[in-house]
């Protein structure tokens, strides 16, 4: 696992399957950032179910203003701390104090508890049936994603979604084996 482009290009990250973390593959990560292109620079980003933090760290490397990493696993939080320290990035547990914020909390709970709003949200939840729909519903009903903000959701290929309020509109999907990456935009 490595950072693909930007300030930290080529830097290796700790984590991965051997540590019990299901990381986003470099191929999937590269596709995500190719789709987003210039959307990252200067943006406030939320990395839900962050794991080792590869998506948020890639965003920082490409010029994101700030990234808030959220994960409930103590093991993931420890790996994230190590990755941040290896990149000489300071972090805090309070929003807005540093460029990176690290919060140990369940991703679904964080959607409703965070008082800040973000322009981009990465969500790579466990591949449990119905979990992706719960994330869509929660983000659609909260203020955590700004108007015209983008949600990038990794999920299993068998997941399908219902958009009752049409608050989150699908933009595109990319499939990689059993993994699908869906891009949504918040309408209001």
pLDDT for 96 equals: 65
Report the CATH fold assignment for 29-186: Rossmann fold (3.40.50)
3-state secondary structure of 94: coil
Encode pLDDT of 131-165 as tens digits: 888 999 899 889 999 999 999 999 888 888 776 56
pLDDT at 18 > cutoff 70:
no
Whether 40 and 67 have beta carbons less than 8 Å apart is answered as no
Residue 22 confidence (pLDDT): 66
Q: What is the pTM of this model?
A: 0.91
Map tokens 């983000």 to a residue.
139
Rounded to 5 degrees, what angle do the CA atoms 40, 155, 187 make?
A: 50
Which string of b and e fits 13-51 if b means at least 16 CB within 10 Å? bbbeeeeebbbbeeebbeebbeebeeebeebbbbbbbbb
> Band of the pLDDT at 84, cuts 50, 70, 90?
very high
* pLDDT value of position 65: 94
Query: Is residue 35 a contact partner of residue 172, using CB atoms and an 8 Å limit?
Result: yes
**Alpha carbons 153 and 136: distance in angstroms, whole number:** 9
Where do the structural domains in the chain lie, given as residue ranges? 29-186
Quote the radius of gyration of the chain (alpha carbons, Å).
Answer: 15
> Can you give the pLDDT at residue 94?
73
- 110 in Cβ contact with 122 (< 8 Å): no
**Amino acid 16: pLDDT:** 60
Residues in the chain: 188
- Quick one: average pLDDT of 124-135? 85
pLDDT at 1 over 90: no
């Amino acid at each position: 696992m490595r950072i693909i482009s930007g300030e930290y290009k080529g830097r290796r990250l700790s984590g991965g399957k051997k540590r019990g973390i299901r990381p986003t593959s470099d191929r999937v990560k590269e596709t995500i950032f190719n789709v987003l292109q210039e959307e990252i620079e200067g943006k406030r980003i939320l990395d839900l179910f962050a794991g080792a933090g590869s998506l948020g760290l890639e965003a920082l490397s490409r010029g994101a203003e700030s990234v808030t990493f959220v994960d409930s696993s103590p093991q993931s939080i420890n790996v994230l701390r190590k990755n941040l320290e290896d990149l000489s990035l300071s972090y805090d547990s309070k929003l807005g104090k540093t460029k990176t914020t690290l919060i140990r909390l369940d991703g679904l709970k964080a959607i409703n508890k965070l008082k800040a709003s973000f322009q981009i949200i990465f969500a790579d939840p466990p591949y449990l049936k119905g979990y992706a729909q719960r994330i869509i519903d929660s983000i659609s009903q909260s203020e955590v994603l700004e108007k015209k903000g983008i949600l990038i959701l990794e999920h299993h290929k068998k997941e399908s979604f219902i958009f009752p309020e049409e608050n989150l509109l699908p933009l595109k999907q990319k499939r990689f084996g059993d993994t699908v990456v869906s891009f949504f935009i918040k309408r209001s």
